[in-house]
Structure 1
Amino acid sequence: MKNLHDISLVAPSVAPASGLSRRLVVLGMGAAGLAACGNGVGGQGGARIDARVDATRDYLRNKYPGTRDLMEKAVGILYMPLMTEAGFGIGGAYGRGALRINDVTVDYYSATSASFGFQIGAQQYAHALFFMTQKALADFRRADGWALGADARYALPDRGGAISTETTTTLAPVIALVFGQAGLIAGATLEGTKYTRIIP
């Protein structure tokens, strides 16, 4: 499975299928991809996850200089370098990442989400959660299966495509940044995504 950084961040969505056979192929590919992510196929050990996290961190620093301010202010950052989403009626997404404090990995996490409704295809995206308070970080680390709450704020680009100043000065306990090949994904939501500590 290609990772996010092998393809310069995020493959575009697969176009809707026009025939039954194509639908079955896409469904099969999506299911196989999620299964591969879920069972560790491809040697996703801690070193591999850390390498992807390093690349994601560097990408954010270089592409969106405003994230450097967030990184300095955050007490912890969860990087999810690659989320693969696929669906046919019932969809889901899965990814693995690392929680870093002072830019040092302290734990590894998986992220899973499910969605319902008519959908077909597969897409990839990445995201990072910036924990801006010690309480938010402690709640995340203490929880057995944590989900992003309504008090989180989503980082949005300004007209120049950079992280807006309003984002970096917010008092929100958690700031979420969702991005792909085309850049920050405005209007994206991580609602329903569950994060669980893992041993890679």
Structure 2
Amino acid sequence: MASGFKQLVLVAAILMLPISLSFAETAKEIDVSVDVTLERFNKEIPGADSFIKKAKGVLVFPSVIKVGLGIGGEYGEGALRIGGKTVDYYNTMAASIGFQLGAQAKSIVLVFTEEGALKRFRDSDGWKAGVDGSVALISLGMGDSLDTINVKEPIVAFVFGQKGLMYNLTLEGSKFTKLER
């Protein structure tokens, strides 16, 4: 059973290889895409601007592509910003098994609300959501804003599709690894 799972993960990694190679963006390209994503985030989420300003750090993935044909994988590159300045670049990868067909793009904004969580993330050699720390996905109801909800989790995430904030998703199993740029 374990070797079968390892084989499936290997196949998913091989399927993702062309995707990851095609992404290999420069630092400048990533920064420009992060700026655009944060502008959209601030525009679409009430209270986002002040929430981001209070954050200890913000990790932004402008485009995470998920491709699946029975076995799926996703990949994206982004930047970690502290005090509004890019300090590091990261990629995110995840594999999944189950019925899936097609491709999907999404943007992810992870907000570190506590210094300790940010330090553990930065000190890790590949950080996995759900293993190295939990990530709370935030969903806002009608009339809610980030000013009116009480966020207590050390790491919160927002996931966007083409039509805005996406719900009922998980980042569990997503791995975040520092890139050399």
Contact 1:158 1:164 in 2 (8 A): no
1:85-111 Cα distance to aligned partner (Å, 9 max, x none): 001111000000000000100000000
1:25-82 Cα distance to aligned partner (Å, 9 max, x none): xxxxxx999444412x366100000000000011111121321132022100000100
Q: Identify the residue that residue 20 of structure 2 maps to in structure 1.
A: 38
Q: Identify the residue that residue 115 of structure 1 maps to in structure 2.
A: 96
2:81 to 85, 100, 103: 100
Q: Identify the residue that residue 199 of structure 1 maps to in structure 2.
A: 180
The TM-score, its normalising length taken from structure 1, stands at 0.77
RMSD: 2.2
SS of match in other structure, 1:165? coil
Contact 1:125 1:180 in 2 (8 A): yes
Q: Identify the residue that residue 138 of structure 2 maps to in structure 1.
A: 155
Structure 1, gaps ≥5 residues long? 1-30
Matches within 5 A, 1:110-189: 110-149=91-130, 151-160=134-143, 162-163=145-146, 165-166=148-149, 169-189=150-170
Contact 2:60 2:108 in 1 (8 A): yes
Structure 2, gaps ≥5 residues long? 1-12
- The letter for the 2-side match of 1:71 is I
Q: Percent identity?
A: 38
1:73 to 41, 54, 57: 54
Contact 1:74 1:132 in 2 (8 A): yes
Separation in 1, partners of 2:157, 2:87: 19
Separation in 2, partners of 1:33, 1:58: 32
Separation in 2, partners of 1:177, 1:48: 22
Contact 1:82 1:125 in 2 (8 A): yes
Separation in 2, partners of 1:173, 1:42: 29
